[in-house]
Structure 1
Amino acid sequence: MDNSSNSIVMIERAFDILKYIFEHEKHVGVSQISRDLELPKANAYRILSTLHQVGAVEKYDDEKYSLGRLLVQLGNKARKNFDLNQIASPVLSKLSAEVGESVNLGIKYGDNILNMLGYEGESSTLVSKLVPISPLYCSSMGKLYLAHMADPQLEAYFTTLDATIETIHTKKTLKDFLALREGILKENIAYDLEEYEYGLACIAAPIFNSKDNIIAAISISGPYSRLKYKGMDTLKAKISSASKVLTEMTKYLE
C-alpha cells in the first residue's frame, strides 16, 4: 500500500527544516533554508514561526534559527526507549543474511567479551560450541578493546594474563599483540584466525560513542576455510560498513 496519501506535506517540510538546521553548526536564516530546500520563503517562515512557538527551534535577534530545547527533552526521552540490542538487531540480522555466517554483538565485561546478541548463519559445529564469554586476548572483538587500551593498562593486562585457551596460533604476550596493534587501529578491524579454536575464524569491527571511545563490537564467525572461500576482504568491507552504521546510530545514546 502506498502511504504517501496519508502524509501531511507541511509536517514533512517541518522535519526537512529541522534536519537541515541539525546538519548546520551555525544558526541559519529563512532565506538560506528557503533556497537550499527549494521551499517558498513564506512557507519556510510560517513553519519556522510555528516551530518556534512550540519550542522546537530557537530564534535569535538576527532572524536566524537553531534547534530548540524541546528537541533536547524529546531526544532524552527517546534515548531511554532504546538500547544497544534494539538498535543493533536489524543491522546484525541483515549482515548475517548477507554473509551467511553467524554475527554477534559483544561488550567488554571484565577481562572478557560478553556476547549480547547474535544471529546464526550457515550451520557449523565450531560456532555452535562457542560460549557467550570469551577472553580478550584470543577473540577478535577482545583485540579491538585491547588495541584501544592505554599502554600501562595494556601492559598490566598481559603481565597478569593467565592464558586458559590456546592453539599454536594464539597471541598471548604483549610483544605478539603490539605487532598487531597498529594494523588493528588503522583498519578498525581485528581477526581471530584459529586462536580460540582450531578451524574457527572471526573478524570484528568496533562501535564507537560520540567521544570516539569503543563501547561495543560486532563480529562475523565461521569455519576459517569457508570464510576464506567467501573472501576475507569482502567480509571485512561488509562488517566495516555495518560498524559505521551502528556507530552513527548509537553515538548520541550516552
Structure 2
Amino acid sequence: MTNNVNDKVLLVLEAICDEKSGLTYSDIVNRLSLPKSTTHRILDSLKRMNYISFDAKTERYSTGLKIIELGVKGLQQQELVDVSIDFLKKLTEITNETSFLSILIEPNEIIHIYKVESSYSIRTGADLGIRRPFYATAVGKIIVAHLNDDQIHEIVKSTQYSSFTKNTMTDPTFLIEELRRVKKMGYCMDDEEIELGLTCFAVPVFNWTDNVIAAISVGGPTDRMKSKEHLIVSELQKTSIEISKWLGYHRETVQ
C-alpha cells in the first residue's frame, strides 16, 4: 500500500466509484487495508467537498455530485476537441501558422488542449496542458471578456499579476477596459504580452446555451502575424462560427 496521502485519497475515491451500491466504512478499510484514522480523514474531506455522499440509513458512501460534474465536463471537453480537430487543421492550412484550442480553468488560468502546428521551422512553442495566466494571453482575455460582469470583476480582483514582458497588462483597471474593448471587437490580440517576438490572435467559442466555453487562436512570430492580421482574424471568426454551430450555437456571429 502506498504511503503517499494523495494516492490514498484517489484509491478511496476509485473504490467508491467502482461500486454502484456504494461502500461502507468497513468495506473501504478492509478492501484497501488503510488505517482507520486515515480512512476517516479522507472520507470526511471527500464528503465535505461533495466528491462523495453518505447515506445514513445504509451507512454507505457513494459517488457525489462533484464527481458527476467533473465527468460531464470531461465529456464536454472531449466533444469540443473532437469537433474542433478538422476545423483547426483547415485553419492552420490556410494561415500556415499554429492554431490552438484553449479553455479557462479555475480560477484564472488557461490551458491549450489541442493544437495544429505550422509547417514553418520558426513557430510558437506553446505546449499543451501548461497553465498560463489569462491576462497575458489572447485566449484568456477573450474568454473572460465574454463572462458576466460579476465573474469578470471577481477574476480580475482575485488575480495576482506578474509581468512577463514590457507589454504585459497588469493594471486591473486597464485590464477591465481591455476586456470590454476586445468583447466589442470580437477578437483579441496578445501583442508580445507573454513572450517577446510572439503574437497571437484569438476568438471565443460558444455552445448551445450561447455561453463561451473555449477560445481558438492562431499564433506565431510577430512579424508574420501582423503582416497577415486581417486574414488570420477573418479565418478565426469563420472557424469559430463553424465549431460553435456544431456545438449548438444559434447566432451568426461570435461577438
Q: TM-score, normalised by structure 2?
A: 0.62
Check whether the contact 1:205–1:240 (CA below 8 A) recurs between aligned residues.
yes
Q: Distance in 2 between matches of 1:126 and 1:95?
A: 15
Give the equivalent residue in structure 2 for 1:207: 205
The AA in structure 1 aligned to 2:170 is: K
The AA in structure 1 aligned to 2:239 is: A
The AA in structure 2 aligned to 1:163 is: Y
Give the equivalent residue in structure 2 for 1:120: 117
Match of 1:179 among 170, 177, 180: 177
1:89 Cα deviation from its structure 2 partner: 0.3
Q: Distance in 2 between matches of 1:214 and 1:124?
A: 33
The AA in structure 1 aligned to 2:175 is: F
Give the equivalent residue in structure 1 for 2:217: 219
After TM superposition, where is structure 1 displaced by more than 6 Å over at least 4 residues in a row?
A: none
Match of 2:89 among 86, 89, 93: 93
Cα distance change on mapping 1:179 and 1:155 into 2, 3 Å: same
Give the equivalent residue in structure 1 for 2:43: none
The AA in structure 2 aligned to 1:155 is: H
Q: Distance in 2 between matches of 1:103 and 1:165?
A: 25
1:180 Cα deviation from its structure 2 partner: 1.9
Give the equivalent residue in structure 1 for 2:238: 241
The AA in structure 1 aligned to 2:118 is: G
Q: Distance in 1 between matches of 2:122 and 2:229?
A: 21
1:167 Cα deviation from its structure 2 partner: 1.3
The AA in structure 1 aligned to 2:200 is: C
Which segment drifts farther, 145-154 or 184-193?
145-154
Q: Residue by residue, what CA displacement relative to the aligned partner does 1:61-82 show, whole Å, maximum 9, x if unpaired?
A: xxxxxxxxxxxxxxxxxx99x7
Question: Which entry has the higher C-alpha Rg, 1 or 2?
Answer: 1
Cα distance change on mapping 1:227 and 1:212 into 2, 3 Å: same
Residue 103, structure 1, aligned to residue 99, structure 2: yes
Q: Distance in 1 between matches of 2:197 and 2:246?
A: 34
The AA in structure 2 aligned to 1:128 is: G
Which segment drifts farther, 176-185 or 203-212?
176-185
Check whether the contact 1:192–1:203 (CA below 8 A) recurs between aligned residues.
yes
Aligned residue pairs total: 172
Cα distance change on mapping 1:125 and 1:133 into 2, 3 Å: farther
Give the equivalent residue in structure 2 for 1:136: 134
Q: Distance in 2 between matches of 1:210 and 1:127?
A: 32
Residue 84, structure 1, aligned to residue 80, structure 2: yes
1:139 Cα deviation from its structure 2 partner: 0.7
Q: Secondary structure at the match of 1:86?
A: helix
Q: How does 1:28-39 map to 2 (within 5 A)?
A: none
Check whether the contact 1:95–1:239 (CA below 8 A) recurs between aligned residues.
yes
Which segment drifts farther, 163-172 or 213-222?
163-172
